[in-house]
Amino acid sequence: MKSKKLAIPRAYQVIQQALEQAIVTGDLEPGEPLPTETELAEKFGVTRHTVREAMRVVEQSGLVQRDAGRRLHVVRPSHDALALVTSRALMMQRVTLRELWEIGTQIEMFSIDVAMSRLKPTLAEALEANVAKTEKAVKAGETITDLDMEFHWLIAKATENRAFHVTREAIAQLFFPALEHLYFLPKTKKESPRHVLEAHKQILEAIKAEDAKAAREAMARHMADFPRSFKSAGLDIDMPSEIREVPTLAISVPDFRK
């Protein structure tokens, strides 16, 4: 009988896993400092160099960050940081834009369905401001990429579902470069922004009318337009995705739970 080799973790990995476990379980809470290198070296019976390597990996995970005194403190990871890890994993799998569009369509449909079930006046107000800025940008021939991303993010925010926010963000970080292609290539840089603006207006009107069915239908039409636009631009929807962090939103996003 053939036996498999045991995967024995290295010393720094044992320390890394212990620190991450303490953070995730709440033994180390946000704002608390990590033990010093000396303390950890004594506790685990290793050199400070080994501890330093473990702390470097934990820092890369986004669970801790350094303060002005260079001491590592526990932090609650942002949605962007958590999503970036997933986005990188998807890119390493050579995920295509078609695959992103397929799952992205379902994500946006979930987003509009849940947002409409928890509808508050603040959503329509925020979307109206976004559409007004988008219309102004389209007339001026300016890019609307940030505003397009913001429109959909506002609806996602209204779901009040933090698990969904992280999941959606990972897809958005890969979908974002594809939108830029449509807004800058000669074949689509004029028509695509106009189509997006019209689609956003239709979704907004349905939300203002509190018509969940119309909002869902408008979102479905909007998402179905993406592969057609990509084909019009002369681009291959089966090309591997690129990764880029979603830009900081131009306006503050209201807390819809208030």
Q: Per-residue confidence at 133, pLDDT binned at 50, 70, 90?
A: very high
Q: How far apart are CA 73 and CA 116, in angstroms?
A: 39
Percent of the chain with pLDDT over 90: 46
Contacts for 110 with CB less than 8 Å, ≥ 6 apart: 159, 164
Q: Is the pLDDT of residue 85 over 90?
A: no
Look at residue 256 and tell me whether its pLDDT is greater than 80. no
4-13, 85-94, 111-120, 182-191: least confidently modelled range: 85-94
Of the ranges 5-14, 21-30, 178-187, 244-253, which is most confident? 21-30
Would the pLDDT of 250 be above 60? no
Residue 115: burial class (beta carbons within 10 Å; 0-12, 13-18, 19+): buried
205 has a pLDDT exceeding 90: yes
State the Cα–Cα distance between residues 2 and 184, nearest whole angstrom: 58
More confident of the two residues 113 and 240: 113
pLDDT of residue 247: 42
Pairing mode of beta strands 72-74, 64-66? antiparallel
Instruction: Using the predicted structure, report yes or no on whether residue 2 has a pLDDT greater than 80.
Output: no
As a whole number of angstroms, the distance between CA 226 and CA 248 comes to 23
Asked if residue 113 has pLDDT above 70, the reply is yes
Tell me if 185 sits within 8 A of 231, measured CB to CB. Answer: no
Architecture of domain 79-232: Up-down Bundle (1.20)
Q: Do the Cβ atoms of 54 and 15 come closer than 8 Å?
A: yes
Which one of 42-51, 64-73, 200-209, 237-246 scores highest in mean pLDDT? Answer: 200-209
Supply the DSSP symbol for 220: H
Q: How many residues does this entry show for the chain?
A: 258
Q: Is the pTM of this model over 0.85?
A: no
Predicted local confidence at residue 245, as pLDDT: 46
pLDDT of residue 258: 38
Please say whether the beta carbons of 47 and 41 come within 8 A.
yes
User: Which secondary structure element, helix H or strand E, spans residue 65, and what is its range?
Assistant: strand 64-66
* pLDDT at position 171 over 70: yes
Whether the CB-CB separation of 50 and 11 falls below 8 Å is answered with yes
Tell whether the model's pLDDT for residue 108 goes beyond 70. yes
Interacting residues of 67 by C-beta distance below 8 A, sequence separation 6+: 73
pLDDT (tens digit per residue) in 227-249? 888 888 887 888 776 644 444 43
- Any residues with CB less than 8 A from the CB of 85 and at least 6 apart, and which? 61, 62
- In the chain, which residues fall in CATH 1.10.10.10? 11-74
The two tokens of residue 108 are 């946006």
CATH code of the region 11-74: 1.10.10.10
At residue 147, does pLDDT exceed 60?
yes
Average pLDDT, the chain: 84
Start-end of CATH 1.20.120.530 domains in the chain: 79-232
